[in-house]
Amino acid sequence: MHPFALAAIGGVLIGTSAVLLMALTGRVAGISGIVGGLLPPKPGTDRSWRLAFILGLVAAPAVLRILTGDALIGPPTVGTPVLIAAGLLVGAGTALGSGCTSGHGICGISRLSVRSIVAVVTFIAAGVLTVFVTRHVWGA
């Protein structure tokens, strides 16, 4: 199947997950928030569904491998020092900005949240600028 068709099907699965979580538990499917709620200094008291969601995420590649023979996980594109810096930025940025690609991108846009739409435009612009600088300015 064409990668773009798979991308759209993947998006539909992600949307189905978001609708299911909202209909059943009344919660937004934002990964940074689900993970953040488990962390100090004030972890939430509702740990079990958060841990179960994360377990589901990590189990998905194994299920896919059984169904299709391939887990479809690509290798990192950068070395360890960049991964550490990027990880710190992604963690700090999503905690400060109250969301990531899923919470603001999928759920927030669908709720027509202006905050989320502004956040999505901002992080895509920052990402585009970062790739432009690292690939076409420094990498040129």
Query: Does 96 participate in binding another protein (rule CB under 8 A)?
Result: yes
Q: Does 69 bind another protein (CB under 8 A)?
A: no
| 119: nearest Cα among 139, 95, 136 | 95
Shortest distance, position 35 Cβ to another protein, whole Å: 6
45 interacts with another protein by CB under 8 A: no
Reduce the DSSP state of residue 37 to 3 states and report it: coil
Give Cα separations from 39 to 32, 114, 115 (angstroms).
11, 27, 24
Number of residues that bind another protein (CB under 8 A): 115
CB of 1 to another protein, least distance (A): 9
Round to whole Å and give the CA distance between 39 and 13: 27
Our finding on whether 138 is near another protein (CB under 8 A) is: no
